[in-house]
Structure 1
Amino acid sequence: MITGKNYIGNTLSSQGNQSFKTFNPRGNVENNWEFREASNVEINTAVGLATEAFKEYKNVSVHKKAQFLRTIATEIEALGQELIDTYVAESGLPEGRAIGERGRTMGQLRAFADLLEEGSWVEASIDMAQPDRAPMPKSDIRKMLVPLGPIAVFGSSNFPLAFSTAGGDTASALAAGCPVIVKSHPMHAATGELVASAIIKAAEDTGIPNGVFSNLNSSGVEVGQSLVMHPGIKAVGFTGSIKGGMALYKMASEREEPIPVFAEMGSINPVVIFPSALNEKGDFWAKQYAGSITLGAGQFCTNPGLILGMEGAALDKFITLLGHEIEIIEPSCMLHPNILKGYSEGTDHLSKQEGTKVVGYYKKEVAPNYAQQKVITVKGAQFSANPTLHREVFGPFSLIVKCKDKRELRNILDHLEGQLTGSVLGNREELEQNHEIIEALTNRVGRIIFNGVPTGVEVCPSMQHGGPFPASSDSRFTSVGVSAIKRWARPVAFQDWPNELLPEALKDTNPLGITRLLNGKHTNN
């Protein structure tokens, strides 16, 4: 049942004075649920509970933590059709997307449970003592990753499940041994409350200490600001706009004790098209990229918002084909009227820039909150001279840049802002012949794709979902895949410590049976 209250640990609470409702973009009406924003007292109580819970939770066995994560997944599934219907009512996304995203969310939780039981993620490293070493004895030094403490997680607008309440940030932080306080996204607060109830039930059923998880409602920025500035919070996870991410980053860096903010922000995901792709499969790639641009109304952080090719008849033909494909795809509903407004203003602004030309646009009338997809083109020199054209438009939009030669293409890539992904369409010979262009693209992205589309992020250990600024605030980390756990941990070295008092991962006998670095060599001993 949806109450509209906050979860302060395992207690439902509604002490705040402000309330809000979510919106059904397909029905173009407010939903009936009313949510109470968290008060300062509730925020302080949640952080206090998390701080106390951390003292116990960080030492809970890996098997018990894994059981907790798997039970969360089970409880999310047990929410059944109510969760799916609520997701659809608050997002405008189709039921199939809701079911798929629920499966991804559950899969992430189970993947982190498996990671915990395998155990090597703590990066245990042991250098044994050498008391007889000359000219000076060597101490016994052992190192591993340990959890940071309570984490503030901000739910994202475009993934109400997989990047929100029990999404990748929450799952990875809980796996690391960190309590989590979620600032629920106001566009899907009911979905968030249902998932929060599943996490609370899983914690109670598995004996996890109260305060390991809390869920706070807010329609504005005040609750999030209070969380980030609270001295009990030790790191922040965020998925959203550059403006929002940088505001949190600035606040966190100005605290008396600065803390890390792991923010995934803007990306236009450049695509480089070489001649073979245009000459041999131009119609195929036009269809593929029209589908990628419009997938989910373009509301993916990996939406291909920039396409780069060399001037000529082949590129002109591809532009015509892509424009046609864009015009015949039926539009999709966007997440909220405010997101549609931002999309419309963004596409209008870029379409009015000097030298741009609209080459594909859905011209028919659409229902309220449905986006009319658009593709425009511009020459390379004008793109380079106008930073406005580099900006992300969140929605079904892409800009095609016509470069006069390879040198201009390389120069554009060299000066492009950091991105989550970069794609290359062509053949192996073109990869070999254009090493400098490939290197320039690689320098600007976290994931480089050959002959594919950037939409669709596989959840696996090898995935890198992050890139140079402003794609993310720290390009060394990923927000997707089990490596995301490393954001919420720090290394600690133990020098000359009694063996029986060391953490299990560092003891001589290796009771956990994990892979460790022993005197410079990887071993399971």
Structure 2
Amino acid sequence: MQTENNATFARIDEAAALAHEAQAFYGAASRAVRSALLRGLADALERDAAQLVAIADEETSLGAARLNGELARTAFQLRGFAERVEAGIANRHVDDAAVPGAPPAGRPHLTRVQLPLGPVAMFSASNFPFAFSVLGGDTASALAAGCTVIVKPHPGHPELSRRVHALAERVLREQGLPEGVIAFVDQASREAAVYLVGHADVAAVAFTGSYQGGVALWRAANARRRPIPFYGELGSINPLVVLPHALADGVDTPAATLAASITMGCGQFCTSPGVIVVRDDADGERFAHALAQALSAQKPHAMLTAAMRHGFESAAAHIASQAGVSVRLAAPAHDEEAAAPAPRLFETDAQTFIANAALHEEMFGPAALIVKVRDEAQTLDVLGAVEGSLTVTLWGAQADTPANRALATAAQRIAGRVLFGGVPTGVAVCDAQQHGGPWPASTQPHTTSVGYAAIERFLRPVALQDAPQWAIAATSGTATA
């Protein structure tokens, strides 16, 4: 094992050196150079789409329809970042002209500029083999910021990762860019992952994955002699609150909508609704029954890896074993022998949920926990027990009432995105998006890993005082390079 790690460490050293060497050129490259790279990568993905989707489906079982859509999203966001680069989002200047006199009324000439952090270690996700992988949003936003990238692929889709990186290498060669702009570290152990995070040439880390793995790497990033930013998405239970008004027209349609969201991608979405808060009354009971029925009719596909399937079975069994939890929808006999897991649905009351931290843990798979509440006050208490979440969904809170305002305030306190309709699965790529939240949803709740604001993670502000024009112009991204 030590020999294997030493060989991997050497590959990391080589990739990091390439990224470090390329950073000097790429960090100073013009907007035209960066946007051309992003567009070229999008074009290349689409040219090789049929072959890449076939490989991805073989490795992940996500299906051609889902994977074609995800590849299209990946190309879309690459081009979207190219457009923002061209518009100067990475080269914004804030200029305060000099004012004669002594401070505080007087001041020197100050120009606030943004500079790329440097090489970013990007840890690919398991559940989005295109959109959160080699050329996914983290890579795209880092490249848009002027940062080189060191890709650490996910072991759930190794061949796809190699093919996509080979595609990226081809684009770099065609555009005359250094190969270290998108460096690559093939399959690596946990020790090697920690080594990568601690490497002196790495300036920031982008991570999407499990809480345990993310926390280990976050600690490594902060244990360095010179700590670096760690942008980690670690997991989320995404509460969905069903208010009485949401059931005024019946329970079947909302139950079917929610069941489809819970099982989308076999529940392997970071925004999958895992906690369903509903009133402990007749309508709430009818909804819970309808949800169990709708879930039982769902036919999820196989999970991404055997390890994830095992993790899901363990998590579901752990929830089921907790005192005060009942099983609304159990797995059929011998379900663990089936290729795909059956959906699960559990139920508890508000007091039990609030008191038992084990019930606040994510079940990464097609399962959810219903929490029955008496009234608005208990709903607020349940949300207050959730430490942090990527999303909170509020069904039936359209009216402007004191109760709904209080509920919206509570949701905004714990989540990065609050929905007043629809389901949380499916995250739009746009300027207003926020995909992050308080710990443990993410390590940096003021940042997003989806949408064009993601570029801000990899930029560092610098104030230039009484600077000559050439120094200011050098940060504008308009020079030919």
Q: Superposition pairs for residues 325-344 of structure 1, below 5 Å?
A: 325-344=294-313
Match of 1:484 in 2: 454
Choose from 260, 263, 268 the match for 1:291. Answer: 260
User: 2:348 maps to what in 1?
Assistant: 378
d(CA) in 1 for partners of 2:255, 2:69: 26
* 2:164 is the counterpart of 1:195: yes
User: Which deviates the most, 433-442 or 68-77?
Assistant: 433-442
Q: Is structure 2 residue 68 aligned with structure 1 residue 99? A: yes
Alpha-carbon contact 1:79-1:194 (below 8 Å) kept: no
8 Å contact kept, 2:30–2:478:
no
TM-score, length of structure 2 as denominator length: 0.95
Q: Which residue of 1 aligns with 2:224?
A: 255
Deviations 1:95-125 (A, max 9, x none): 1111111111111111110000011343310
CA contact (8 A) 2:239 2:275 kept: yes
Is residue 240–residue 394 contact of structure 2 (8 Å, CA) maintained in 1? yes
C-alpha distance in 1 between matches for 2:311 and 2:179 = 40
Unaligned runs of 5+ in 1: 1-15, 20-36, 513-525
**1:43 lines up with 2:12 in the alignment:** yes
The whole-number CA distance in structure 1 between the counterparts of 2:352 and 2:258 is 23
2:369 partner amino acid: L
Counterparts of 1:358 and 1:413, CA distance in 2: 22
TM-score (normalised: structure 1): 0.87
C-alpha distance in structure 2 between counterparts of 1:341 and 1:501, whole Å:
56
| Amino acid in the other structure paired with 1:417 | E
Q: Does 1:391 align with 2:361?
A: yes
Tell me what 2:147 maps to: 178
**Offset at residue 466 of structure 1 (A):** 0.3
Aligned counterparts of 1:38 and 1:217: Cα–Cα separation in 2: 11
SS in 2 for 1:280: coil
Q: Give 5+ residue unaligned stretches, structure 2.
A: none
SS of structure 2 residue aligned to 1:429: coil
1:109–1:370: structure 2 CA closer, same or farther, 3 Å change rule?
A: same
Q: Does 1:306 align with 2:275?
A: yes
In 1, the alpha carbon distance for the partners of 2:404 and 2:478 equals: 51
> Any conservation in 1 of the 2:150–2:184 contact (CA below 8 Å)?
yes
Between the aligned partners of 2:102 and 2:9, the Cα distance in structure 1 is 58
Work out the CA distance in 1 between the residues paired with 2:210 and 2:257. 26
Match of 1:67 among 14, 18, 36: 36
Match of 2:122 in 1: 153
From 446, 463, 466, the counterpart of 1:496 = 466
- The CA RMSD measured in Å over matched residues stands at 2.0
Matched position secondary structure for 1:144: strand
| Cα separation, 2, equivalents of 1:249 and 1:199 | 28
For residue 155 of structure 1, report the CA deviation from its aligned partner. 0.7
Question: What does residue 393 of structure 2 align with?
Answer: 423
Range that drifts further, 364-373 or 395-404: 364-373
How many residues align? The count is 477
Preserved CA contact (<8 Å) 1:38 1:217: no
**Once superposed, which parts of structure 1, at least 4 consecutive aligned residues long, lie more than 4 Å away?**
16-19, 132-137, 364-367
Kindly provide the amino acid, as one letter, of the partner of residue 461 in structure 1: D
Aligned CA distance change for structure 1 residues 135 and 294 (closer, same or farther; 3 Å):
closer
Identity between Structure 1 and Structure 2 (%): 38
1:240 aligns with: 209
Answer with 452-461 or 212-221: which moved more: 212-221
* Match in the other structure for 2:85: 116
Shift of 1:160: 0.8
> CA separation of 1:453/1:364 partners in 2, compared to 1, >3 Å: closer, same or farther?
farther
Report the Cα distance in structure 1 between the residues aligned to 2:267 and 2:401, rounded to whole angstroms: 28
1:163 is matched by which residue type in structure 2?
F
